[in-house]
Amino acid sequence: MPKKLLNFLLIGLDFVSDKNGNLYFLEANSFPGTGTLKSNRYQPLSKLCKILNLKKYKNIINIHSSRFFKKNRSNALFRYQTMKKATGKARLCIIDEDKINTTDKLIDIKHKPITEGIIFTYYKNIKNRFFNNSKFFIINSPVISTISLNKELCSRIVKKARNFRVPKTFMVENKTAIKKIIRTNNLFPCIIKPINGSQGEHTKVLRHLGHLKQVKIDIKKTGPLILQELIETPKKNNLFWDIRTIMVNGQYCGGIIRQSKKSICNLHQGGIKKPIPKTMETNLKKASEECIKLLENYYNKNINSLTLDKNNKILHN
C-alpha cells in the first residue's frame, strides 16, 4: 500500500462483465454502502483506520443525518462500531435533517462537542464547511466526492484504461436528444440515469423507443442525465448481476456481486449480495487499481483548477 494517502481514499467501483468476460466500468462511489463493507474478509474499514494519522487527530467522526440514521440505524452503527473497535477513537454525530446543510458545530450523541478529528460522511456540505479547517481531515474531499459522483466525467477520465472497457456514454437533456443519440449510435439497449445519482434512483432501462414514451424527463428533479450503452450480462440463477469492489488508498479490498430480478442491481432496491468468485478477483484487482490510478492522476493534474460552485458542481478555473 502506498505510504502517501491518496485523494481517492475509500472508493467503491462498479463493474459489469459481458458474455465474453470483458469488464466494463460503470461508476465510482465515494461513500460505498455498508452492504459492501460487511462480511468482507479484507476488512476495508479496519484497514482504512490503520493508515489514518491517529497521532495527529484524536477522533474519527461518523456523521449522519437524523433521517438516514432512523432508516439505516444498523448500517450507521456498523461503520461507527467497526472504527471504534479498530481505533478506540470513533465518535458518532447525528445532525437534524433541517440543519445538515447549515451546521458549523459538531456534537456527538453523548452531547459532547467535537473540535477536531477525521470526518467520515456522505454529506458534501459538511465536508465543504470543515475542509479548510486545519483541525479536521476529510476522508474523500468535497471535490473528490463530486468527481466520483459525476458518472459522465468518471467515464471520460478512465476511458483509455487497458484492464477494462467503458460503455458509450452521452449527456442528455431531453427526449429529442435521447432519440437522436440512440438512432445515430444504434444504442439499444441503453440506460438513462442522473449524472449525479445514487442508489439506482431515477434509473430507467430502454430496450426500444416505445420505452422512451413511458419515461418522464424532469431535469429540475433529477439534475443532468446521461444516456449509456447497456452492457448485457448473462444472468446467474435467472438474476441480473453486477460487481462492486472496494478500494482503500489504491489497494483492492474485495467486494461483492449484487444480484436482482431487476436489471438495475442495487441493494437499496431489493438486490441481494454474494461473494465475488475467486476466479474473477485477479482481473477485478487489476481493473480496480488501474481505475483509481487514472482518477488520482486526473485529480493531481487538475488540482489547481478544480473548485466547486455553491451547488457543489465542479468548476474549471
**DSSP code, position 212:** H
117: alpha, beta or left, given left = phi > 0 and alpha = psi -120 to 50? left
- C-alpha grid cell for residue 217? 424527463
Which residues sit opposite 137 in a β-bridge?
118
Q: Which three cell numbers stand for residue 118?
A: 477525521
Pairing of strands 136-138, 117-121: parallel
Q: Is 100 helix (H, G, I), strand (E, B) or coil?
A: coil
0.85 surpassed by pTM = yes
CA–CA distance, 149 with 36 (Å, rounded to integer): 17
Could you say which DSSP state residue 312 is in?
S
CA dist., res. 21 & res. 27, Å (int): 18
Strand partners, 315: 307
pLDDT at site 298: 95
- At 317 the pLDDT is 46
| Grid cell in block for residue 269 | 432496491
Ranges of residues in the chain with a pLDDT under 70 are 1-3, 39, 197-201, 268-269, 307-317
Grid coordinates in use for 299? 485529480
CATH 3.40.190.10 fits 168-230, yes or no: no
3-state secondary structure 15-82: EEECCCCCEEEEEEECCCCHHHHCCCCCCHHHHHHHHCCCCCCCCEEEEEEHHHHHHCHHHHHHHHHH
The grid coordinates listed for 28 are 465510482
Query: Distance between CA 142 and CA 133 in Å, rounded?
Result: 13
In the prediction, which pLDDT does 1 show? 42
170-200 pLDDT tens trace: 988 888 888 899 889 988 888 888 887 655 5
* Rama region for 99: left / alpha / beta (φ>0; ψ in -120 to 50; rest): alpha
CB 196 within 8 A of CB 150: yes
Q: For the chain, how far is it from start to end, CA to CA, in angstroms? A: 33
Amino acid at 274: K
Backbone φ, ψ for residue 272 (5° rounding): -120, 155
Q: In what order do the strands lie in the sheet with 272-275?
A: 23-29, 10-17, 240-248, 251-260, 272-275
- CA–CA distance, 305 with 3 (Å, rounded to integer): 26
Q: Confirm if 298 and 305 have CB atoms less than 8 A apart.
A: no
Give the residue among 204, 207, 229, 230 at the shortest CA–CA distance from 217.
204
Domain residue ranges of the chain, discontinuous segments joined by +? 1-43+236-309, 53-138, 168-230
- Give me the phi and psi of 44, to 5 degrees please: -60, -35
Please state, in angstroms and rounded to a whole number, the distance separating the CA atoms of residues 2 and 248.
10
Question: Among candidates 289, 279, 292, 247, which has minimal Cα distance to 36?
Answer: 247
Question: Whole-angstrom Cα distance, residue 83 to residue 69?
Answer: 17
* Average model confidence (pLDDT) across the chain: 88
Report the sign of the C-alpha dihedral through residues 305, 308, 309, 312, in that order. positive
